[in-house]
Structure 1
């Protein structure tokens, strides 16, 4: 797996951060406004040191209903304190009010006309403690974070996407070529997502390198790029839309290979084709090449040589990628595990 390259960084600060319940906080931001009435019960929950699947399993067992009957918008980190929303039928309201679990807290309940579906998510708010930071470096980190917020962050898939096994991309490729057979549907889908994600990351790395070498470190647009607007509509403008891009009205996208997907043209296609698999039968997608971290707040605690950085990212993007960009370093699960 090749190194993820970035456009902006401090570069010479070796700060530490850890994915623990005290040092890595994630709050889900829903994309819908709950009406306060309806046949679905929306439950705002806080969980610590457990996966979303484990949390749903706990509710499933307690309510004696299949896990598929519990709605959720997205998956959250295990090694963290996270808040998110789930939904169940309103008939379970009394039971939810009496629910107890040592790793799960019910923060609030309300009602809505429909259950929560995957993707009903605007983004996530992160609060992360960075350690071994002096006051000068704290200022440099904040300055770099705000520059990334303005110029854009390459929207790589983070190390979490690829599982614990660094050889998972090879397994995915062997599965798709027929060299190995995978019966379990969940594992098969997981490997396919790794296959698509690794190709996207490789494509984005090349585009970042081009930007570094040919555009003074700012993301370089190419003829034939596919853009997405603020409403999610894809297009390939005849003229490179520099003004719309700078105004953040259009964002270039990269390919998650598969069928029935809008592909690049002209100069952009020459690069994209290197990281495509037109024979992949699963559905393809486009993913934003850049995202823009918002609402950055920094608080330095001198006695602990610790900087708390808070920021908001759109759904599907990774806080660890933002921190990688600042540090100009690629992290792994081992790096963020507290010894």
Structure 2
């Protein structure tokens, strides 16, 4: 793959999107130490205790998920494709997550022999099925923001609204690479300027393009004040699962569920196929595609299919506490939610 930099024909992709609750209440330091960002993956089911897949719950610090998967493959003497995980976790943090190693007809390896600084195996259990991407229920976060400067009363008011109403379900900036570089590479891929044989790298570029388009649509609705409200033609999605309500089946009962915050609007993850929304919502989504034809046509040509993502994220069990000029946050997000998208509603951490 070529490493040349993007030329003048490559557009600049903005990673600035509007906030829902009036902008940041101040500034703070984030992730000064790994212990300031603690993430615990919530698997959502118990491994059954038998089967050809060995599930390992591992606490890590200073290592990224993909590196650890490769180390597990070497340790267990299997091909890297036989090691799986549900979600990627930050390197600059203390994170706990599950890995799966396929070991058909083989005994468990000696767990005591797997020694690496910054790693600790917490559990090991067998399971009959592979651990697949995105299967975990969610992630529990404990965050410490240091040296807060700003309006503490305004910040608490924002936290109270987020606890009650949720926050815009933006994809986090880490999705787009340093300075949005993954987006430029995606565009070059779609234009045929580069070839990417590595499947993981190609997937990163496709995901970046899809995520940016979604964020653009969500930003329009945040600006219009309807990111968390029903619009005629919306395709509503339930919290807690992937179920959708067809746009032509929205009735008074469905609207009542909106008011009870059991449902929220969804936005497009671009790909092949017809939009399922109706009326003005579908038109807004078609206009988005018309403004970014290279990205949308590239995703379609790559074989991506139309999917939906909720416009609203909920922080379950959100709690907060000040210790001097430090703010401690605790909450749980469903799989696919970004803690950084919540933080950007509150403080500037740059």
Fold conserved between structures, TM > 0.5 = yes
**Which residues of 2 match residues 203-282 of structure 1 at below 5 A?**
203-211=217-225, 219-229=228-238, 230-238=240-248, 239=250, 241-260=254-273, 262-276=275-289, 277=296, 280-281=300-301, 282=303
SS in 2 for 1:168: helix
**1:311 and 2:339 are equivalent in the alignment:** no
What's the offset of the Cα at 1:272? Answer: 0.9
- TM-fit CA distance, 1:324: 0.3
SS state at 2:35 partner:
coil
Name the residue aligned to 2:292: none
CA distance in 2, matches of 1:11, 1:250: 27
Preserved CA contact (<8 Å) 1:227 1:236: yes
8 Å Cα contact 1:19/1:80 also seen in 2:
no
Q: Is 1:196 aligned to residue 210 of structure 2?
A: yes
Which piece of structure 1 moves more, 242-251 or 121-130? 242-251
Report SS of the residue matched to 1:27.
strand
Shift of 1:110: 2.3
1:210 shift after superposition: 0.7
- Consecutive unaligned residues of structure 2, counting only runs of 5 or more, are 1-13, 290-295
CA distance change for structure 1 residues 92 and 106 in 2, over 3 Å: closer, same or farther?
farther
Q: Residue 152 and residue 3 in structure 1: after superposition, are their counterparts in 2 closer, same or farther (change >3 A)?
A: same
Equivalent in the alignment of 2:310? 288
TM score, norm. by length of structure 1: 0.86
Residue equivalent to 1:153? 167
Going from structure 1 to structure 2, the CA distance change for 1:162 and 1:192 (only over 3 Å counts) comes to same
Partner of 1:71: 84
How many Å apart are 1:133 and its aligned residue?
2.8
Query: Retained in 1: the 8 A contact 2:234–2:281?
Result: yes
- CA distances 1:292-332 after superposition (whole Å, capped 9, x unpaired): 11111223222xx21111111111111111000123x5x6x
Q: Spell out, residue by residue over 1:211-270, the C-alpha distance to the aligned partner (whole angstroms, 9 max, x if none).
A: 1xxx6xx73322111122344222333347432112233221111110146532211012
Query: 2:54 maps to which residue?
Result: 41
CA displacement 1:127-184 (0-9 Å, x = unmatched): 11111237972x6434422311211211111110001143432332232133444444
Partner of 1:122: 137
Does the CA-based 8 Å contact 1:227-1:235 persist in structure 2?
Answer: yes
Unaligned runs of 5+ residues in structure 1 are none
Are 2:325 and 1:325 equivalent residues in the alignment?
no
Q: 1:50 to 1:92 in 2, by over 3 A?
A: farther
Partner Cα separation in structure 1 for residue 265 and residue 44 of structure 2: 22
RMSD, aligned α-carbons: 2.4
